[in-house]
Every structure is written in C-alpha cells, then in structure tokens.
Chains A and B, each alone.
Chain A
Amino acid sequence: MRRKKWIRTVNLFCCLCIITPMLTGCWDRLEIEERAVVLGVSIDSVKSDHSQEEEGEVSHLNNSIPAPNKSLIRVAVQIALPGRIPLGPGESGGGNGPAEKTVWVIDVVGHSIDDAFMNLQQQVSSRLFFGHLRVIVVSESVAKKGLENINDYFRRNPEVRRMAWMMISKGRAIRFMDATPKLERVPTLYLMSTLDEGSRMGKFPKDYIGIFWSNLSKKGQEGFLPYVELKKEQNIEIKGLAYFRGDHLVGITKPLEIAGYLGIKGVNPAGYRVFIQPGDASTAIMTNTTHRKATTKVQIKDNVPHFTITISVELNIEEKLSENIQFNNPAILKQYEKKQEEVSLKFYTDIIKKTQEKGSDIFGFGEYVRGKKPSFWNKNVKSAEGWQKMYKDSTFDIKVSMKLRRIGMKAK
C-alpha cells in the first residue's frame, strides 16, 4: 500500500516535469505594444531616379545579391499608435482634440512589396503585424503595370484577412494614408466604412480583396476594384469601378455605371438615383431604385455565346423639378416607366460594350458559359485568355422592366 503511494508520487512528479516546460511560454509570445499594427498600406509607383539612393540595401546587395530589375514602388503604411486609439465613442476626454494623431504614417521605397516592408522593418523597432490590415490603396499607375506581386504577397501572408478592401486611387495613393477625415479617429477605418456603408446603401458591390482574388482567378470572369478619389475636405469619393484584365488595370467607369453593374448582376440593396425626362427639362423627375432583380441566360448562337439578361427594377419617385407634372393617374407613371426602360436599356448595353472593348468581363458572363455550356467551353474557350477573346464577340439581349411603386409623402 505504501509502495503504491510512493509510485503515485513519483508518477505525479514525472508528469509535472513533462508539463512544466510546456507551460513556460511559447516562442510566439509577442506583447501587444511590441507590435506595429499596420492598418493601411498604400502602394505608389516611383518616378524620379534619385529615390534609388533613398533605399538602403536591406534585402539585396548590388555586388552579390542583386535586386530584380523592376521599377521601384513607394509603399506607405499606417501604423496604429498604441494607447492613442479611442476604445469607444465616449472616450473623448483622454485625447487632446484632433491635433493628436492616432496613426503614424511611414513610407519607404522598394523593388517589391516584401522588399519595401523589409526596408520598413529595418527602420521600425517593433514587428510589423498585418492581422488588422483593413485597406490597401494602390495607385492607378501601379495597377496599370499589374498587381501580380501585390496579390501574391498578400495571399501568401497568413495574417492578412480576406475581408480587407483593396482600392485603386486617382492620383497618388499615399495621400489616403495621410488623410485625416473628421468622422473617424482612425483614418483607415473611415476609408473602410466608406466602402462598407457604400455596399450597405447599394452604392457599391461587396468587393473585398478575397472576392476580387476569386474573380481574378476565375476563367470566365475578371476582377474589379473600387476607384476612389480624395476630395478637398479629406473625404473620399467612390469614383467608379476600376476593371481589370488579368492582373492589369484596363479601364475605369463613371460612378453611375456602378449602378449599371449592380443592375446587371441584380445586387441588392439598390441605392442609385437617376433623372428621367420624357419630354423637356420641366418634365424631369428623380427616381430612387429600391430593388433589383436580374437573371442571365446563355445560349449558343452561330458558335458565339448569346446572353439574355432580364433586369427588373423597382423605383420610387424622390423629386420633380417643376409643378407641370402631376402624379395623379397611373398612365403618367406608366409613361415614366417606359421612358426609364428605354434609357436604361441603352445604359446597360453601353456598359457591357465598354467592358467588351477591353475584353474585361467583370460580370462573369464567361462563368455562365463554363457552367451551363461546358461542352462549348471545352471546345472553344478553355482558358481565361480564350474567354477574353470570346467575350468581345459575344452578343447580348437585354430586357428591362421598370416599376414605379411609390411617390413619397406628397400626394401629387
């Protein structure tokens, strides 16, 4: 009996010996204030030659480990300052007004994304952490050269989330990092909420970086990103869709053409307003889209895909420009519906034409061909390049039906 007890003690001791080293902490312990939490990244191209000198030789050496012969990029990061970020809206007492910045913006140059980050890491004491990266702003000129390297780096990094936004900026992207919008204490959060709210109000489709990557990879679809511009009050305007062919930016739409994209895809909620004028300017009214529905059907006609798109949209009247018109009988509403159907048809057709010219199928019509007509696809298209060519020859038949439902609180 005593012997047994003794053995138990020894066993217990052995167990403790084994467990203790495992509880002493781990290799990956990193205190939160030792992390440089990157909230936003901007990527610009570099024009001048003397920026070469600005770059230290951190991940390459001219003699032994040469850098790839690629043009330099300027990468700026927004690092959150621990302690300065307010934890809630009520915590305004701590800060000393807007003068105190919540983020720290640093920019470096590099030959690639990782090269730039390594140059940056050489300058920043704490370890860069991308787990909270919410916004990546890429300038138009970089996007035109191609996003291959950028997509590769962020896809490979396990910390980056697929719910971050990537956007294309008009002008230099670094200005978005420096911007100080009044609504949010943290500038990138404002950038992010512009797009998040935009997609909630029906102004912009949900297009997180993960969705962009998926669309980019698909054989029958191309990717697109929001195109944004910094306005004079440091606010951000969504200027349109920047659409791609492969990794390269090939075109940019007008803001209203986003509505065209949303209509063709039937994305809800709907949120764009347009003018409708059946006669002269005095008959103009403004309508608000409330609900969209769209179906796409594909047939093969004369060895090219023929798409039939049926779009039905529900509208409300929001304003009229003069008292000439009275909404007092259904026939008038019918007249407006008809007019809007007419103009919308042209509107939708033009957008598709525009993307067809560039061979950039952001709507994913090719996916319908791949999915619904696999034998045709396997014989004639096969690859993403094949579809980029085929898309230009595809024919479309668009049917639009508009329904004016409500006229607001005014009776006439």
Chain B
Amino acid sequence: MQDRQITVIQAAAILVSSIIGVGVLALPLFAVKAAESGAPLVTFLGMLLAFVGLFLITVLGMRFPDKSVIEYSQDIIGKGLASFGSVLIIVFFAVLTSLTAREFGEVVVTSVLRSTPVEVTVIVMLLLAAISTRNEITTIAYIHTFYFPLLLVPVLLIVALSLKNAEAINLLPVWGNESKGMMKGTLTIAALFQGTFVLSAVIPSMNKPQNAMKASIGGMLIAGGLYVIIVAAAVSVFGAEEIKQLLWPTLELAKATSLPANILERLDAAFLAVWVTAVFTTLLSSYFLTIHSISKLFRLKDHKLFSYFILPFVFTMAMLPQNIVEMYEIIVNVGQIGLCITIVYPGLLLLISILRKKRGNSVEKKKVDQNR
C-alpha cells in the first residue's frame, strides 16, 4: 500500500503545470489558423473537449482508487487487450515527451541561444526531467506545487500589461469570419491539454481520491482559463491576420509588452525564463507518466528503474523531425492521434466497467463512505 499524501490542491497544481507548457507559445497560432478572430472560442471548445477526457479519467480513478490506468484496464477488459492499450499509452507519452523536449529546443535555438546545438538544449532538459522523476510521487507533487505560482503570475502580468495595446474590434466576430477549421482546431487545441492524463497515476496516491473530481475541475478551469486569456490577449493585441505571420505569438506578445516606467522594455527574456520552468514541469509529468506506466505494466514496485533507461529512446525520437515545419506537422498529427488514447480509450474503459459492474477495492470504498 502506497502512502497517500497528495492533497486536492496538489493534484490541481499537478494538472495545471502539466498542461501549461511548451504549447503555450504556438497556441494562438493554432487557434487563429482554425477560426481567425474566433480563436478564444476555439480554445474554449478545445478545453471542453479536453475536459471530457479528464472527466473520464477522474471517474475511472474514483472507481478504482488504488490503481492506475494500467492496472484497472486489466481488471476491466482483460490482460491481453489491456496490455495492448497500455503499450499504446506508454509509446504515446514517450513520443509526447520527446516532442515537448524538441519543441523546447527549437524555441531556445531560434530565439535565444542561437549558436547552441539543439541536441544540447534537448538533452539538458530531458536529463533534468529524468533526474527529477527518480523521486517519489509525493516529492514530484511538491515540485509541481512549488512552481505553480511561478507559472501563473508572470503570464497574467504579461497579459494584463499587454492589454493597453489591445483593441476589442480584433476579437469580433466571436465565432470568426471563417469557421470551417473550427472542428479541426478544437481537436488540435484539446491535444495541448493531454498532460492531464497524469492524473491517472496521481489518484492512487491521493489522500482523498473521492475528491479527485474537485482537483480536475479546478485544474482545468485554471489552465484552460489561462489558455483562453492568452489567446484573447494575443488576438486583441495583434489581430488575427498578424498572428498568422508569427510562429510563436505568445513570445511575440511578451516582446511587445513593457513594464511601466521603462523598467524592462521587453519582457520576452523574463517570459522565457518562466516558460522554461513550465516546460520542465510538463516534461516531468509526461516523463513520469511514461516510466510509471512501464513499471506498472511489468508489475514493478518502483518506477525509478526506467528513469535513465528510456532516456536514449526519448532523445532519439526527439531528434527525428528534420526541420521545424515538419516538427509542427508531427506535433499536430500526434496530438490528434493521442486524443484516441486520452479520450476514446478511457471512455471505452468506463463504459465496459459500468456494463461489467467492475469496481475498485471495496475496503477502500468503505473507508470512503465513512469519510463522507
């Protein structure tokens, strides 16, 4: 029996810092490509779709409060099928980890450290994540909670300061002039929220798993709200057409924003510093989820074994995209495939578990009832 220490607030912090990560930079571009001035709406829809996935995971987690998705899927659909699903999850999150690291590397190499090889920035970030995943899950929860305010405050500050250059007309009409790409855009943006899947590994360590839903609603509201705010700010400052010209509109937003009284004339350096922590926490989550799932699949007690073992694989995958355009194509495609894993698969599991009346540990259940 693991010690159950993670509180609701910590779980919410894990969710928020897993979601907010590397995707924040390109987010307004994805949203604007989908629906022009309807970008905030698309982001909101993406958030709702992502919440469906999170909701399923949370309900499943509350049904099986002692087990992670790898374990309870075996109870629900049998070992053979479940192993197949688990392998898919592991591969997907390994790919997600590598793409996150690569996107981070590309941003850093393009905008800040222009003569540093991209391999170095990627390997440094991955090493950092690998070392950090050698901690217990409670420690990881503390890391997330510690960085949590560091993610929110600067982003909100940049948004607030940029509003003085904002024009409301840029946000009209709210549904966008051309809404053909709305559906695809929603999927693309929902894919940016896939870090939430880490909750399936967190719930078994929560001290009150029955409150997991509170954490997921709270986490989603904060992270999704922040995403919508960022997109709205970027669109209102630049206008939809200009965003189409920018690879990383959020970074450009920080560049165009200055602290009052000329203290800092451009905030992109400050923003990038914060963004590195955001990327680190996201990377930490997906990396942890990958190795945690592998260890559960092989029924090992400890996940630390795989920390360094998968590092070369993740790193090699990160180096596969040949150029930045190809990388973004892969990110969008992988993200959409991933939605099958993070939304459809848990949906099926929940449906079957209800039909087969499968439930988790009844002893736990009694304890839960007493607590009410």
The chain A residues found within 8 Å of chain B, CB to CB, are: 18, 22, 26-28, 155, 158, 161-163, 208, 210-211, 213-215, 217-219, 364, 367-368, 370-372, 374, 377-378
Across the interface, do A214 and B238 meet the contact criterion of CB distance under 8 Å? yes
Across the interface, do B169 and A368 meet the contact criterion of CB distance under 8 Å? yes
Cβ < 8 Å to A, chain B residues 155-184:
165, 169-173, 175, 177-178
For the complex, what is the distance from the CA of A213 to the CA of B124, rounded to whole Å? Answer: 36
Q: Which residue of A lies closest to B124 (CB)?
A: A22
Kindly provide the distance from the CB of A302 to the nearest chain B CB, expressed in whole angstroms: 23
Some 5 contacts from A to B, beta carbons below 8 A apart, are A26-B116, A163-B266, A218-B242, A367-B239, A370-B37
Chain B residues with Cβ under 8 A from A371's Cβ? Answer: 37, 169-173
Given A377-B177, A378-B178, A161–B266 Cβ distance below 8 Å?
A: yes
Across the interface, do B178 and A27 meet the contact criterion of CB distance under 8 Å? no
Across the interface, do B252 and A162 meet the contact criterion of CB distance under 8 Å? yes
Across the interface, do A27 and B115 meet the contact criterion of CB distance under 8 Å? yes
Q: Which residue of B lies closest to A161 (CB)?
A: B266
Kindly provide the distance from the CB of A220 to the nearest chain B CB, expressed in whole angstroms: 9
Kindly provide the distance from the CB of B169 to the nearest chain A CB, expressed in whole angstroms: 5
For the complex, what is the distance from the CA of A213 to the CA of B237, rounded to whole Å? Answer: 12
Across the interface, do B239 and A214 meet the contact criterion of CB distance under 8 Å? yes
Q: Which residue of A lies closest to B116 (CB)?
A: A27
Interface string of B172-203 (1 = CB under 8 A from A): 11010110000000000000000000000000
Kindly provide the distance from the CB of B129 to the nearest chain A CB, expressed in whole angstroms: 14
Across the interface, do A378 and B177 meet the contact criterion of CB distance under 8 Å? yes
For the complex, what is the distance from the CA of A180 to the CA of B165, rounded to whole Å? Answer: 33
For the complex, what is the distance from the CA of A393 to the CA of B114, rounded to whole Å? Answer: 49
Q: Which residue of B lies closest to A375 (CB)?
A: B173
Q: Which of A161, A374, A378 touches B265 (beta carbons < 8 Å)? A: A161
B295 in contact (CB, < 8 A) = no
For the complex, what is the distance from the CA of A210 to the CA of B257, rounded to whole Å? Answer: 11
* New A-B contacts (20) at CB < 8 Å, excluding given A27-B120, A161-B256, A371-B173: A18-B127, A26-B116, A28-B116, A155-B245, A158-B110, A158-B112, A158-B114, A161-B255, A161-B266, A163-B256, A163-B265, A210-B252, A210-B256, A217-B245, A218-B242, A367-B170, A367-B239, A371-B170, A371-B172, A374-B177
Q: Which of B37, B113, B256, B258 touches A26 (beta carbons < 8 Å)? A: B113
Given A161-B265, A378-B177, A213–B242 Cβ distance below 8 Å?
A: yes
The chain B residues found within 8 Å of chain A, CB to CB, are: 37, 110-117, 120, 124, 127, 165, 169-173, 175, 177-178, 237-239, 241-242, 244-246, 252, 255-256, 258, 265-266
Chain B residues with Cβ under 8 A from A367's Cβ? Answer: 169-170, 239
For the complex, what is the distance from the CA of A273 to the CA of B282, rounded to whole Å? Answer: 57
Chain A residues with Cβ under 8 A from B120's Cβ? Answer: 27
Q: Which residue of A lies closest to B107 (CB)?
A: A158
Chain B residues with Cβ under 8 A from A372's Cβ? Answer: 172-173
Across the interface, do A214 and B242 meet the contact criterion of CB distance under 8 Å? yes
Chain A residues with Cβ under 8 A from B178's Cβ? Answer: 378
Across the interface, do A218 and B115 meet the contact criterion of CB distance under 8 Å? no
Chain B residues with Cβ under 8 A from A377's Cβ? Answer: 177
Chain A residues with Cβ under 8 A from B245's Cβ? Answer: 155, 213, 217
Across the interface, do A163 and B169 meet the contact criterion of CB distance under 8 Å? no
For the complex, what is the distance from the CA of A116 to the CA of B83, rounded to whole Å? Answer: 60
Across the interface, do A218 and B241 meet the contact criterion of CB distance under 8 Å? yes
Kindly provide the distance from the CB of A130 to the nearest chain B CB, expressed in whole angstroms: 12
Q: Which of A26, A158, A217, A378 touches B242 (beta carbons < 8 Å)? A: A217
Chain A residues with Cβ under 8 A from B110's Cβ? Answer: 158
Nearest first, the 6 closest Cβ-Cβ pairs linking A and B are A371-B172, A217-B241, A217-B242, A27-B116, A374-B173, A162-B256
Q: Which of B112, B116, B177, B238 touches A370 (beta carbons < 8 Å)? A: B177
Kindly provide the distance from the CB of A228 to the nearest chain B CB, expressed in whole angstroms: 22
Chain A residues with Cβ under 8 A from B115's Cβ? Answer: 27-28
